[in-house]
Chain A
Amino acid sequence: MQLELTEGEVRDFRRLAGIILPASSEYDTPGAADPAIFDDILRSLGQDLDAVRRALASLAARAGGAFAGLDDAAAEVMGLGFMETGGADAMTLGRSVLQCYYRDDRVMRALGLTPRPPYPLGHTLEDGDFGLLDAVRGRPRMWRDVDRAEAQRR
């Protein structure tokens, strides 16, 4: 079993990643084909490798050869269509892209988030209005009272 993607598969994958998650100047965010993000995607495939490889094979079959060789318009139509109709393997490929994209420092900052793990700083959580419970506190007992009398006799 091959442990990493071939050069051709990588080219097709990078092209597809750039189409499904393009860079945006409006949101000041890189695309998934950005070198740092895409390298992270390749490094992180792990047990998804086989599914991603199958997805890329299916995509190449639709392209009649190398997906990366299609012109921009054809690649965009085919790439987006593939993500809609490519089934479980396309979903896995999509997840492999998203789980790396949404941890990139630049993407996090563009979302207004600080790029850091949750630990050790954690987060602040407001208490919320426990006065809302006043509507519930006065309710009569809701649980069905069974066995208690017998238990009290024991």
Chain B
Amino acid sequence: MMTPAETTKPRPTDEIVDVLIIGSGASGAAAAWSLADTRMRILCLEQGDWIAPTDFPTNGRDWEARRYTDFAITPNRRGRETDYPVNDDASVMKVANFNGVGGGTVLYTAHFPRMHPSDFRVRTLDGVADDWPVDYWTLERFFAENDRMMGVAGLAGDPAYPAHQPTMPPVPLGKSGARMAAATNRLGWHWWPSDIAVATREYDGRAPCINLGNCTPGCAQGAKASVDITYWPQALRAGVELRSRCRVREITTNAQGMASGVVYYDPTGRERFQPAEVVILAANGVGTPRLLLNSVSSRFPTGLANSSGLVGKNLMMHPWPQVRGYVEEEVDGDRAPQTVMWGKEFYETDKARGFVRGYTLQYSRGTGPVNEAVMSMEAGRLPWGVDHHRVYRTLLYRRLQVGIACEDLPEERNRVTLDPLLKDSHGIPAPKISYTISENTAAMMEHGIARATEILEAAGAKNIYTSRTTLNYPGHLLGTARMGTDPARSVVNEWGRSHDVKNLFIIDGSIWVTSGGVNPTSTIQALALYIADSMKQRLANLFD
């Protein structure tokens, strides 16, 4: 029987391009911009739409309710026509993504920590998982380049990081930050104003933050650095072509085992073929393995680039418990960027704690009127009936919260596969994720919850409670096409090229070897810039 890749039914064929990028999010945008100076013909196919600033929820009175509908962080709830479903029944965490120009950067908090140097050497330092085939110092100039492109607010001098200079002044501490900072000082622990990809002054044509809050579901002011307003305008001006509403079904290969292009559906739903000399996958840690597993042929019967059998395996999602409490005075609520500072006291390994690796404490402000009511209702803290109004007034704008960004280590049982039944609106098999939390990570979570509780107690908070895993928290998508030097133990090499298919590159979070205890966007983009630079250095012999 012919496989989908081998079928020859007539379909329109587009003009061949030099480089085809699948996905316009954090990594795809960075690579497109970087490669544009080669003057190659570069095309990006994006399954979602451009989102206009006027579309974002903070323009309207229903701005909070839309977090539960068309701007929900999980595609299964959002259910846009441009989304694909994900079977997450076998996962304790839910997928966070956005399918549109800018990808996940449209729907992220813009918290912008880098991985630490030790994160790239976990086998050497801590005897677990694997070392990365690259290191912090190789990526350092790409971190800096990415900071300039995105625009990062922060403060130099953090003793928890190698020296670096954020491009703008930090986001204000506000009442919430100052209160939690003073509490952390009383405990003698580290904290520092977070690097946040939000413009605190005019930056590269972007208006400064005016504290709309509610940053995650998009910034109407354009102060939050999503790549649709940072990298893409420059990449488009440099000649890169971006086609939205084009969903790729599979990557095709030729008789030599090289990628020959992709089959995709255009905005009218018509199936087309786009030939390409080089294919770059930038579809995130679920979308990328889904596409590879859907690209089967007689030569690649278990999916493209999957001779190692590792495509889809080692999914890491960053378990992220939240500890919340309430103070008597009114604090910032949601009237500012949500994240204010990070704490690195427990980031580096100390085996006396009963686990290896560590976590970031992420200090956040509160939330808005609807979300406070809904979350407190769900937690059983806000009663129904006549007492509702009194209790609500003790909660609104009085919340402080500390998240625990835990590093989960790669485990092959945590994986992305293809669901045998579920399909997207084009009939393409949908991904299924299976994910459980390991003993090491569970111990780390409990340690972090206890420390976060101490901080909130020191800040004078009462009514403290913990949410261990919740629908609306990441969900980062990492590790499912890992990089490495051994083709038997990795999918791509140390500069992102598939071991099996010499003109296929992967640049998104799939290639992560371990996850670190930080939000991944900064490092995803630094890696994408590094891989693009590596390609440019090797253009004469890219496929050798």
Within 8 A of B (CB), among A110-154: 111, 113, 115-130, 132-133, 135-137, 139-148, 150-152
Residues of A within 8 A of B336 (CB): 123, 125
A-B contact pairs, 9 of them (CB 8 A): A24-B386, A47-B77, A103-B370, A122-B221, A137-B159, A142-B348, A146-B136, A151-B137, A152-B137
Closest Cβ of chain B to A112, distance in Å, is 10
Inter-chain CA distance A117–B221, complex, in Å, is 13
Closest Cβ of chain A to B83, distance in Å, is 13
* Stretch from B59-67, B235-243, B291-299, B414-422 contacting the other chain: B59-67
Closest Cβ of chain A to B319, distance in Å, is 22
The listed residue (B137, B157, B177, B385) touching A80 by CB distance below 8 A is: B385
Residues of A within 8 A of B192 (CB): 133, 136
Are the CB atoms of A123 and B212 closer together than 8 Å? Answer: yes
Inter-chain CA distance A102–B61, complex, in Å, is 10
Closest to B220 in A: A119
Are the CB atoms of A126 and B174 closer together than 8 Å? Answer: yes
Inter-chain CA distance A152–B209, complex, in Å, is 38
Inter-chain CA distance A46–B118, complex, in Å, is 47
Are the CB atoms of B178 and A146 closer together than 8 Å? Answer: no
Known: A144-B118, A147-B120. A123 touches B190 (CB 8 A): no
The listed residue (A26, A118, A142) touching B344 by CB distance below 8 A is: A142
For the A-B complex, the count of residue pairs with Cβ-Cβ distances under 8 Å equals 189
Are the CB atoms of A102 and B172 closer together than 8 Å? Answer: no
Closest Cβ of chain A to B168, distance in Å, is 14
Within 8 A of B (CB), among A40-65: 44, 46-47
Inter-chain CA distance A136–B186, complex, in Å, is 11
Are the CB atoms of B172 and A98 closer together than 8 Å? Answer: no
Inter-chain CA distance A124–B212, complex, in Å, is 9
Are the CB atoms of B63 and A122 closer together than 8 Å? Answer: no
The listed residue (A24, A95, A132, A140) touching B377 by CB distance below 8 A is: A95
Residues of B within 8 A of A24 (CB): 386, 389
Closest to B53 in A: A119
Known: A91-B377, A130-B173, A143-B117. A102 touches B369 (CB 8 A): yes
Cβ-based interface call for B138 (8 A): yes
Are the CB atoms of B137 and A117 closer together than 8 Å? Answer: no
The listed residue (B77, B79, B138, B370) touching A151 by CB distance below 8 A is: B138
Are the CB atoms of B137 and A148 closer together than 8 Å? Answer: yes
Residues of B within 8 A of A117 (CB): 58-61, 63
The listed residue (B56, B62, B117, B393) touching A148 by CB distance below 8 A is: B117
- The list of the 3 closest CB pairs from A to B, nearest first, reads A128-B173, A122-B210, A151-B137
Residues of A within 8 A of B162 (CB): 143, 148
Inter-chain CA distance A26–B390, complex, in Å, is 10
Are the CB atoms of A20 and B385 closer together than 8 Å? Answer: yes
The listed residue (B62, B157, B172, B220) touching A128 by CB distance below 8 A is: B172
A95-B374, A133-B155, A144-B348 given; 19 more Cβ-contact pairs under 8 Å: A20-B388, A94-B377, A95-B378, A99-B370, A113-B369, A118-B58, A121-B210, A123-B212, A123-B213, A125-B174, A128-B175, A129-B173, A133-B193, A137-B157, A143-B348, A144-B116, A147-B117, A151-B135, A151-B138
Closest to B212 in A: A118
Residues of B within 8 A of A125 (CB): 172, 174, 211, 332, 335-336
Overall SS of chain B's interface: loop
Known: A98-B374, A125-B335. A132 touches B393 (CB 8 A): no
Are the CB atoms of A135 and B125 closer together than 8 Å? Answer: no
Cβ-based interface call for B121 (8 A): yes
Are the CB atoms of A132 and B182 closer together than 8 Å? Answer: yes
Cβ-based interface call for B505 (8 A): no
Interface size counted on chain A using CB atoms at 8 A: 61
Closest to A91 in B: B378
Cβ-based interface call for B124 (8 A): yes
Cβ-based interface call for A21 (8 A): yes
Are the CB atoms of A147 and B335 closer together than 8 Å? Answer: no
Inter-chain CA distance A34–B196, complex, in Å, is 42
Residues of B within 8 A of A10 (CB): none
Are the CB atoms of A22 and B386 closer together than 8 Å? Answer: yes
Cβ-based interface call for A33 (8 A): no
Closest Cβ of chain B to A148, distance in Å, is 6
Inter-chain CA distance A113–B373, complex, in Å, is 15
The listed residue (A116, A119, A139, A146) touching B118 by CB distance below 8 A is: A146
Closest to B67 in A: A99
Cβ-based interface call for B254 (8 A): no
The listed residue (B65, B155, B178, B389) touching A27 by CB distance below 8 A is: B389
Inter-chain CA distance A147–B170, complex, in Å, is 29
Cβ-based interface call for B128 (8 A): no
Residues of A within 8 A of B377 (CB): 91, 94-95, 98
Are the CB atoms of B62 and A103 closer together than 8 Å? Answer: yes
Are the CB atoms of A21 and B370 closer together than 8 Å? Answer: no
Are the CB atoms of B378 and A19 closer together than 8 Å? Answer: no
The listed residue (A26, A76, A80, A99) touching B65 by CB distance below 8 A is: A99
Are the CB atoms of A123 and B348 closer together than 8 Å? Answer: no
Inter-chain CA distance A80–B185, complex, in Å, is 44
The listed residue (B160, B213, B384) touching A143 by CB distance below 8 A is: B160
Closest to A145 in B: B117
Closest to B388 in A: A21
Closest to A22 in B: B386
Inter-chain CA distance A23–B58, complex, in Å, is 28
